[in-house]
Chains A and B, each alone.
Chain A
Amino acid sequence: MSRASQLILNVYLIVFFLYLFLPLGVVALAAFNAYPYPSVTQWQGFTVHWFAALAQDSRILTGLWHSVLIGLGVIAVSLPLGLSGAFLLSHLQSRWNTVLYSVLVSPILIPGILLGVSTLIFWGSLGFGAGLVTAILAQSSFIASYAMLLFLARLQRQDPTLEDAALDLGASNLRVFWRITLPFLRPTVLTAAVLAFLQSIENYNTTVFAIGADWTLVTEIGSRFRFGLSPVINVIGVVFILITVAAATAYVLVRHHELRRSHAR
């Protein structure tokens, strides 16, 4: 690559990453501004007042509690579903496999609001009012698809002779599952649980349709944009950014380490 094109590429990358991070910087900075409307330009002095205000905001705290409840519910629903789907798909050998696969990944490929809407209508027609339960069901319909893809990828790397060997040594089907299959899947179960929880907490488009009059942390933030915009939102932003940076750094470090190790071999 010539020096000129290398330079152009580097400038391009720098501009791109500035584009990604400067807006987030604006959000974070405004959290420390004493001005009561979120702003970085009307600077009225540094404050941590808004952090204290957040700690007293009962609607937001309730929303957070709802988010955690929904997140745990989504883990409990989507992991068994995703795991079952992955088992079926990895053993089903006919054209039905592609049909089932298409159905099970479809929630990833259609807009989230439609999952919310269809859940609302379907469970409403069964007499379920919109609320936390419908939010769990709506989110699980697509989060289970992500979990299934994770499990499917892991199962494809499984050595099928291990299960055969266990059977041959006299293990019952249940013992094979419990002692061989599940331990092999354990890291993926953990990953899938964490991802399901994070996706659940973050979700807005599906949840806002399915949750009705109830609210989560994120739908509460969404409604604050209309009414009652204050730097408290920015404080939440700062917390989100800190958690994300920490988690992403850990992830990248682990991945980088693994890559190094596989290159060393």
Chain B
Amino acid sequence: MNSLIATYGRPLSALFLLLTALWAVGLIALPQAVMIERSLWVEERDTSVELRINALYSSLELKRFDLADAKSEARKTQVAEQIATLEAEIKTLEARESAPRKVYTLSNYTRMSSLHFTIFLKTIAYALCVTALSLMVCYPVAYAVAHLAPPTRAALMMLGLIVPYAINELLRVYAWLMILDYQGVVNTLLAWMGLVDFEARTWIPFLESSGSVFVAMVYTYILFMVFPIYNTLETLDHNQIEAGRDLGAPTWRIHQRIVIPHAKPGIAVGCLMTFMLSAGSYSVPQVITRGKAGDWFSQLIYRQFFESFNWNVGAAYSFTLLATCIGFIVLMMRLFKVGIRDIAK
């Protein structure tokens, strides 16, 4: 901090501090905190108040009849006074009713239905599978690009990785929608083979299964595994591999003892990113199932906000997902013995 002031002076340093604080607090910490706070209360309407108001309204009606029937002036003023009292009471009660009480409770979490909880478990389980499969598929690719291919071929392969990575996520999902659609590529192939019949609508409804969401998720997020691993493998001195081979180590042992230990931070980051993206993916289930199959957890959250307008439950579901992801991050950092610093880039 002192070195910052020494170099850039007080006004600029204060500006840096202010902007960072705005970001850390205003865009990161406070929104998360408010979300968590929101998940911890419910609005309770007092039903007894509602009954009492209804009762008051009926007696008010009666009094109005009385007022119309009243013969003497004295009776009229008396009834008019009673009406005024009733109206005042209704007013105060209605004010209480329209401002429902805010009650702090864990019920937003505990009242998660077993269906929703199953969906949560399914989402997390599939995200773990996506992560594991991506790791297995990507490690050889990252290693090949970083260490086996001659420079020009490596550059070409790099291009082959960047292009699909940079193409919009939705379009990557969309590709699998077209492939797995009722009259999509796969079903058409099956039809040519005479296995399904479009006229009789006996196509296989891939889109209605969780499996197709899984397939599309792997395709959409697999490259988030390649690049972190590639980035760490690129910094591995190739001579280390040669030395290992020269000392007579078989390929699997070179990977076990030299390559994988070096790639650990990259593997950790790749797993974190892939898991986080899959567990929190809204686009893939939304596009692939098109509402024809069961929801995923991200869709449940969306519904709480934009269909049920139950933001408190939405916040609770969001925090559940957040806590799961933080737990996964901590787990990976312990497992791979990497610090938060290694997760840069």
Contacts of B23 in A (CB 8 A): 81, 84-85, 104, 141, 144
CB distance from A220 to the nearest CB of B (A): 10
Tell me whether A244 and B340 are in contact (CB under 8 A): no
Tell me whether A121 and B38 are in contact (CB under 8 A): yes
Looking at B28-36, B42-50, B56-64, the stretch in contact with chain A turns out to be B28-36
Interface size on A, residues (CB 8 A): 98
A173 to B344, CA, bound (A): 29
Tell me whether A110 and B4 are in contact (CB under 8 A): no
The digit string for A114-140, where 1 denotes a CB below 8 A from any CB of B, is 110111111101000000000001001
Tell me the chain B residues, 1-21 only, with Cβ under 8 Å from chain A. 1, 3-4, 6-12, 15-20
Q: Is B51 an interface residue when CB atoms closer than 8 A count as contact? A: no
Tell me the chain A residues, 17-45 only, with Cβ under 8 Å from chain B. 17, 19-21, 23-24, 26-27, 30, 38-42
Known: A87-B8, A111-B279. Is A17-B160 also a contact (CB below 8 A)? yes
Tell me the chain A residues, 85-111 only, with Cβ under 8 Å from chain B. 85, 87-88, 91-93, 98, 100-107, 109-111
Tell me whether A114 and B321 are in contact (CB under 8 A): yes
CB < 8 Å neighbour of B171 from A27, A208, A255: A27
CB < 8 Å neighbour of B27 from A121, A140, A167, A225: A140
Number of A-B residue pairs having CB atoms within 8 Å of each other in the complex:
274
Interface size on B, residues (CB 8 A): 97
Q: Is B322 an interface residue when CB atoms closer than 8 A count as contact? A: yes
Tell me whether B31 and A119 are in contact (CB under 8 A): yes
Q: Is A252 an interface residue when CB atoms closer than 8 A count as contact? A: yes
Most chain A CB atoms below 10 A, which of B11, B17, B137, B163: B163
Closest B residue by C-beta to A87:
B16
Tell me whether B287 and A104 are in contact (CB under 8 A): no
A93 to B6, CA, bound (A): 14
Contacts of B282 in A (CB 8 A): 113, 204-205, 208-209
Tell me whether A13 and B141 are in contact (CB under 8 A): yes
Tell me whether B19 and A112 are in contact (CB under 8 A): no
Q: Is A59 an interface residue when CB atoms closer than 8 A count as contact? A: no
Tell me whether B148 and A9 are in contact (CB under 8 A): yes
Q: Is B172 an interface residue when CB atoms closer than 8 A count as contact? A: yes
CB distance from B63 to the nearest CB of A (A): 42
Contacts of A208 in B (CB 8 A): 282, 302
Known: A23-B172, A39-B183. Is A92-B1 also a contact (CB below 8 A)? yes
Looking at B65-73, B99-107, B109-117, B151-159, the stretch in contact with chain A turns out to be B151-159
Known: A13-B157, A109-B272. Is A103-B29 also a contact (CB below 8 A)? yes
Known: A113-B298, A226-B291. Is A16-B17 also a contact (CB below 8 A)? no
The digit string for B204-229, where 1 denotes a CB below 8 A from any CB of A, is 00000000000000010001000000
A24 to B179, CA, bound (A): 10
Tell me whether A225 and B1 are in contact (CB under 8 A): no
Tell me whether A173 and B17 are in contact (CB under 8 A): no
Tell me whether A12 and B140 are in contact (CB under 8 A): yes
Contacts of A117 in B (CB 8 A): 35, 301, 305, 314-315, 318
CB distance from B288 to the nearest CB of A (A): 9
Q: Is B169 an interface residue when CB atoms closer than 8 A count as contact? A: yes
Closest A residue by C-beta to B319:
A114
CB < 8 Å neighbour of A174 from B12, B174, B281: B12
A109 to B314, CA, bound (A): 20
Tell me the chain B residues, 123-143 only, with Cβ under 8 Å from chain A. 137, 140-141
Q: Is B22 an interface residue when CB atoms closer than 8 A count as contact? A: yes
Tell me whether B183 and A42 are in contact (CB under 8 A): yes
Contacts of B146 in A (CB 8 A): none
Known: A100-B24, A247-B166. Is A23-B175 also a contact (CB below 8 A)? yes
Tell me whether A177 and B345 are in contact (CB under 8 A): no
Contacts of A202 in B (CB 8 A): 168-169
A245 to B159, CA, bound (A): 8
Q: Is B294 an interface residue when CB atoms closer than 8 A count as contact? A: no
Known: A81-B22, A204-B283. Is A222-B170 also a contact (CB below 8 A)? yes
Tell me whether A114 and B144 are in contact (CB under 8 A): no
Tell me whether A38 and B178 are in contact (CB under 8 A): yes
Name 21 A/B residue pairs within 8 A (Cβ), A-sorted.
A13-B144, A16-B141, A20-B223, A24-B164, A26-B179, A27-B175, A83-B16, A84-B18, A84-B19, A98-B340, A100-B24, A114-B322, A117-B301, A120-B305, A173-B8, A204-B282, A205-B281, A205-B282, A208-B282, A221-B171, A241-B163
Known: A20-B164, A218-B170. 4 other contacts (CB 8 A): A21-B164, A41-B188, A167-B6, A225-B286
What are the 6 A-B residue pairs with the smallest beta carbon separation, nearest first?
A111-B280, A173-B9, A23-B175, A118-B31, A122-B31, A84-B19
Residues of B within 8 A of A (CB): 1, 3-4, 6-12, 15-20, 22-24, 27-32, 34-35, 38, 137, 140-141, 144, 148, 151-152, 155, 157-164, 166-172, 174-179, 181, 183-185, 188, 219, 223, 251, 272-273, 276-277, 279-283, 286-287, 290-291, 298, 301-302, 305, 311, 314-315, 318, 321-322, 325-326, 329, 339-341, 343-345
